[in-house]
């Protein structure tokens, strides 16, 4: 992450290993069950997008999941939640080790999600948006029976257009607010964020999902930011016009998805707070992690069923997450 010296605006660093895993032979990395390990973090929204996609499509048996802890230093994401502080499959303490195996002398950002080839220990890709789409398309032969179509051909243009606005103004927009180094840059990001959230609220007032009548990749993209909004972005990143709980449409929409299998069962609010408040020392130099907000409201009725829609289209909900991937329920 960085900031433009002249404008004071937050600038997201480029991705360092943007390969692809394909089934059609268009890349050197073939789709193959058991070959890759997805490294994510419960705290990170970009990783959360891919973890949700993997869950909904039922790829848990084909792609194992490693979880980096919420705290890290300049050496990168670290497996400090695992016994001995080492990922049990990759045998590494810091994710940087897998990047350096892929690119000797690697000096770009070490980010999650990262897909790692288990045998070589090399990062194959950290291109999260392409990875999401490829899980829906290239990995189709390994989807569970009843897996939903998250990237339906007839809606791809609309999903892409909506997704671009959500990325720039919402997903990345909260970071632009939080890491702005000047008042004008902050206010521009703040205005764009809330203009987009207001537009999305209007869009969702009469429809259950963003595109069509089923969950698509567009919903996953928006939801990961909404899920972290009150826990981190409202206070920590100064995105504080309203709390999510004060926005009737978006709060109901977010609860609806939280209570849908594959969404809320990927979230750990404590790890989210530990990461944002504990790692971003330029924003929160004391490292004090807030006790609130109370997350129990996520389980309250949302009433969005009245708008119709079929969450999984012609498919079915995913089963429970594997025992070693379960997260605490809001209490």
> For this structure, is 177 an active site residue?
no
Annotated active-site residue in 44, 94, 128, 177: 44
Does 175 qualify as catalytic in the annotation? yes
Q: Which of 94, 128, 175, 276 is catalytic?
A: 175
The verdict on whether residue 77 carries a ligand-binding annotation is yes
Q: What is the dihedral of CA 31, 33, 39, 43, to 10 degrees?
A: 100
CA–CA distance, 320 with 52 (Å, rounded to integer)? 13
Q: Which residues are catalytic?
A: 44, 175
Annotated binding site for glutathione: 77
Residues at the binding site are: 77
């Amino acid at each position: 992450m960085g900031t433009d010296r002249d404008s004071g605006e937050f600038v997201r660093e480029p991705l360092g290993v943007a390969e692809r895993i394909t089934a059609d032979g268009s890349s050197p990395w073939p789709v193959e069950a058991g070959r890759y390990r997805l490294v994510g973090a419960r705290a990170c929204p970009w990783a959360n997008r891919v973890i949700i996609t993997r869950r909904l499509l039922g790829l848990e048996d084909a792609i194992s999941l490693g979880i980096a802890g919420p705290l890290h230093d300049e050496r990168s994401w670290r497996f400090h939640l695992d016994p001995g502080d080492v990922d049990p499959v990759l045998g590494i303490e810091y994710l940087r080790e897998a990047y350096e195996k892929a690119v000797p002398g690697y000096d770009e950002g070490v980010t999650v999600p990262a897909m790692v080839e288990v045998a070589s220990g090399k990062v194959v890709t950290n291109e999260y948006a392409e990875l999401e789409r490829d899980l829906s398309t290239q990995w189709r032969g390994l989807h569970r029976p009843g897996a939903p179509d998250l990237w339906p051909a007839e809606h791809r243009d609309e999903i892409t257009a909506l997704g671009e606005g959500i990325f720039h103004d919402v997903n990345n927009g909260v970071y632009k607010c939080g890491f702005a180094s000047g008042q004008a840059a902050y206010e521009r990001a703040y205005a764009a964020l809330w203009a987009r959230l207001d537009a999305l609220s209007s869009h969702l007032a009469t429809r259950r999902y963003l595109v069509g009548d089923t969950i698509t990749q567009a919903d996953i993209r928006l939801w990961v930011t909404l899920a972290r909004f009150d826990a981190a972005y409202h206070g920590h990143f100064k995105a504080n016009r309203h709390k999510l709980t004060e926005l009737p449409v978006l709060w109901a929409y977010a609860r609806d998805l939280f209570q849908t299998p594959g969404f809320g069962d990927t979230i750990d609010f404590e790890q989210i707070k530990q990461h944002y408040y504990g790692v971003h020392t330029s924003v929160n130099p004391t490292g004090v992690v807030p006790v609130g907000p109370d997350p129990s409201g996520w389980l309250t009725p949302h009433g969005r069923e009245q708008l119709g829609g079929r969450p999984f289209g012609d498919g079915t909900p995913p089963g429970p997450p594997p025992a070693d991937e379960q997260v605490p329920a809001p209490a």
